[in-house]
Structure 1
Amino acid sequence: MSAAARARGQRGISPVFLGIVAVMAVTGWAVWADFAATAGLAVFLFVTSAWIVSLCLHEYAHARTALHSGDITIGAKGYLTLNPFAYTHALLSIVLPVLFVILGGIGLPGGAVFIERQRIRGRWRHSLISAAGPLTNVLFAVVCTAPFWLDALDGVPGLFQYALAFLALLQVTAAILNFLPVPGLDGYGVIEPWLSARVRRAVEPIAPFGLLAVFALLFIPELNRAFFDGVDAILRGLGVSEFQSGCGLEYYRFWEGENTFCAAGIEQ
């Protein structure tokens, strides 16, 4: 079977992805219904499943753009099925980003799909392939915040607002971090085709450590504060308050106990 035939044969949506979407839909309904006894767990499952869906779409965007740019092997690798287990770095693409959300409340970018760059001609195409992933996070953030910036929150339960606000925060942090021009991240992939061969060769050995370096820098209190100040400023521009995203995080971490302050805000 030719590469083109294999590419055409593996484009159906994976049942695994559909299952994750189903979990997102059911738990989203539970958050909307606001069952007090399971509110925190519902927010946790809804945001986590929605975050995994966004990670799958992020990687799919890379793959789909690469396919249309000349890499016909993408389909044979299973990247067009949206199956999170099909990615070359499932640990980096899915597991670690979810773990960082749970532990730190931050949307850390994952690893990219494997693209045969030698099949692609044109620097603009290479840049667009790298940009396609984080642009899906931008789009996801716009969709999550639409009820806020459209001033369409009437009738939207407070708990659901909090969950959307926190999910939007994760998308904004992921977009910002992904677009950093750091080796190993998508932002560097955008500018790499425009760098000289000498610079690319010099940077190549440190590329695997770029993500770790960013994560380490976020542990510096001053940088962490400046980063989240910027994230909060963007969210405010989209109509989301720090209170709403903060309460979303509090409910997401349901194992830490009930936040009566946020609960009072819902009742109001």
Structure 2
Amino acid sequence: MMGYDRPGEPLVLGVPRAAFRPSPVFLGLVALFVTSGVLAWQRYGNVRFDVFLFVVSGWLVSLCLHEYAHAVVAYRAGDRDIAHRGYLTLNPFKYTHPLLSVGLPVLVVLLGGIGLPGGAVWVDRHAIPGRLRHTLVSLAGPATNVLFTLVLVAALRIGFGTGGSIEFWAGVGLLAFLQLTASVLNLLPVPGLDGGNMIQPWLSPQYRRMYDLFAPYGFILLFALLWSPRIGGWFFNAVFAIADLLGLPPEFFSVGFNLIRFWQG
């Protein structure tokens, strides 16, 4: 249904159409991603810095799309107010915790080469009827990471050797690996993360109360689990096994990770 809020300002279901337009911040990230990719492809200037910009901007674009997927499915499922909160504009500065959802994941990428999931979009669960819809809202974000992983791996397998610099393709390989780690981490049944939120609606009231009690500490629990040499080893063994099945060579990740740390010389 169309209407008007201010003269000339169209509404969609009572929401200004501007709430659905991609923000200049997101468009700037996309432009940086494309530009740095072209520079890395041509080995123009400092190629290590080019790859750094390519990987970081690509990772930020994927974070925006991950959270957008949560928001758009929640909007379609019944949470109309999510548009007023700015989540449908793909602007990372609209997130509930920009530092935890943007700053921390980028820092972990640079220091550890792990695609850390973020918890950014606040969804009004009371506005969404039905357990299946709640599960689909939580699934939408990780599904985006899985799709990114498959697209990047396909691009690497088809495009490598047909043109472009080895540094560019190493950046593509690193991005694919980051998306893969994010996919696996997001699907873990950890309270507060997407994987846990997918099963939360199906728990009994007793277990749901316990889940809600631990949910705010999901990030801390995740770090604690990955810090354990045994559990961290299991996780990375599983990630590398999936990478092998997808045909993602580990050397691309290694070279790409070394390239983005350009400050080390």
TM-score (norm: length of structure 2):
0.91
Aligned 8 A contact 2:51 2:171 in 1? yes
Aligned 8 A contact 1:3 1:76 in 2? no
Residue in 2 that maps onto 1:142 = 150
Give, in angstroms, the shift of residue 7 of structure 1. Answer: 5.5
Give, in angstroms, the shift of residue 163 of structure 1. Answer: 0.4
**How many Å separate the matches in 2 of 1:240 and 1:207?**
33
Q: Percent identity?
A: 49
Give, in angstroms, the shift of residue 155 of structure 1. Answer: 2.0
Two-structure CA RMSD over aligned residues (Å): 1.7
Residue in 2 that maps onto 1:15 = 24
- Does 1:164 pair with 2:172? yes
1:26-67 CA-to-partner distances (Å, cap 9, x unmatched) read 1111110123x5111111111000000000000000000001
Residue in 1 that maps onto 2:46 = 38
**How many Å separate the matches in 2 of 1:202 and 1:230?**
28
Equivalent position amino acid for 2:148 in 1: F
Residue in 2 that maps onto 1:212 = 220
**How many Å separate the matches in 1 of 2:169 and 2:49?**
16
Specify whether residues 196 and 153 from structure 1 end up closer, same or farther in structure 2 by C-alpha distance, changes over 3 A only: farther
Residue in 2 that maps onto 1:76 = 84
* Runs of 5+ unmatched residues, structure 1: 258-268
1:140-178 CA-to-partner distances (Å, cap 9, x unmatched) read 111111133447642242111110110011101111111
- Does 1:194 pair with 2:213? no
- Does 1:28 pair with 2:37? yes
* Runs of 5+ unmatched residues, structure 2: 6-10
Residue in 2 that maps onto 1:260 = none
Give, in angstroms, the shift of residue 248 of structure 1. Answer: 0.7
Specify whether residues 242 and 152 from structure 1 end up closer, same or farther in structure 2 by C-alpha distance, changes over 3 A only: closer
Specify whether residues 126 and 7 from structure 1 end up closer, same or farther in structure 2 by C-alpha distance, changes over 3 A only: farther
1:94-132 CA-to-partner distances (Å, cap 9, x unmatched) read 111111111211110001311111111111110000000
- Does 1:99 pair with 2:133? no
TM-score (norm: length of structure 1):
0.90
Specify whether residues 175 and 219 from structure 1 end up closer, same or farther in structure 2 by C-alpha distance, changes over 3 A only: same
